[in-house]
Amino acid sequence: MNYILTITTDFLLLLLATPLVFAQGAGIEWEILNQEVMDLYRTGKYGRAVVVAKKALEVAEKNVGLNHPDVASCLENLAALYRDTKRNEDAKTLEQRAARIRSIQR
């Protein structure tokens, strides 16, 4: 039970860390998709959450480019879902890409 609570808390913190800045961010569609990912995750619908998280990533990449912090947030969220579903290699790849984006932003 503590393991599930820890994973859920970590994932929610990642989602909540995503900035809600419409003028500079990936846009309202992206915000709605991220909220849907959070809702799906909370209800244990991980497969659907992955699909929506991928769509959120596509929207962010289209709206703000490949090296924006919103893209890094999407990658981190998707990586967390992959870790929870034991897709560790996929998660690692996304985490590395997100880290590269974050390092560019510093």
Tokens of 65: 């480019």
Domain-located, residue 55: yes
Quick one: pLDDT at residue 23?
Answer: 44
Task: Report the share of the chain in percent with pLDDT over 70.
Answer: 77
Domain-located, residue 24: no
Structural domain span for residue 69: 2-14+30-105
In the chain, the number of structural domains is 1
- Listed in sequence order, the residues at least 6 apart from 30 whose beta carbon sits closer than 8 Å to its beta carbon are 56, 59, 60, 63, 70
Domain-located, residue 92: yes
Domain-located, residue 23: no
Task: Reply yes or no on whether the pLDDT at 48 is more than 60.
Answer: yes
Domain-located, residue 59: yes
| Distance separating alpha carbons of residues 78 and 74, to the nearest angstrom | 6
Domain-located, residue 19: no
Quick one: pLDDT at residue 53?
Answer: 97
Domain-located, residue 47: yes
CA neighbor of 57 nearest in space, from 74, 72, 45, 41: 74
CA neighbor of 50 nearest in space, from 13, 75, 17, 25: 75
Tokens of 63: 């709206």
Domain-located, residue 54: yes
What CATH number did the domain enclosing 34 receive? Answer: 1.25.40.10
Q: List, for residues 87-99, the tens digit of each pLDDT value.
A: 999 999 999 999 9
